[in-house]
């Protein structure tokens, strides 16, 4: 009877280890960031670069004013 109990404990332990390994594998496959937000950030950077090339001084002034604006809670 003692052997049967130890075999059952080993099976449960192995099943738990396999379940945790499967969870880790699925978590690795899941994308870290949604693709849409990464694409949106890339487009925003490109648009900012384009705006800087077109009107460098005006764009810089707008950015500076935004950075220096008082923060309201």
Q: Mean pLDDT score of the chain, rounded to an integer? A: 80
Is the predicted pLDDT of residue 1 greater than 70, yes or no? Answer: no
Reported as a pLDDT band with limits 50, 70 and 90, residue 9 is: confident
pTM across the whole model: 0.39
Most trustworthy range by pLDDT among 19-23, 28-32, 47-51, 55-59: 19-23
Instruction: Note whether 40 and 18 are same-domain residues.
Output: no
In this structure, are residues 2 and 9 in contact, taking their beta carbons and an 8 Å threshold?
Answer: no
Tokens of 61: 């002034």
- The CA distance from 64 to 60, in Å, is 6
Can you give the residue range of the structural domain that contains 18?
A: 1-30
Rg (CA), the chain: 28
Instruction: Note whether 23 and 43 are same-domain residues.
Output: no
In sequence order, the 6+-apart residues with CB closer than 8 A to the CB of 59 are 48, 51, 52
Is the predicted pLDDT of residue 72 greater than 70, yes or no? Answer: no
């Amino acid at each position: 009877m003692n052997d049967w109990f130890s075999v059952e404990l080993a099976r449960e332990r192995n099943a738990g280890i396999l379940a945790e390994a499967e969870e880790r594998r699925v978590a690795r496959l899941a994308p870290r960031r949604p693709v849409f937000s990464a694409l949106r950030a890339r487009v925003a950077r490109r648009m900012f670069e384009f705006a800087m090339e077109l009107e460098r001084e005006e764009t810089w002034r707008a950015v500076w004013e935004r950075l220096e604006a008082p923060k309201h809670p």
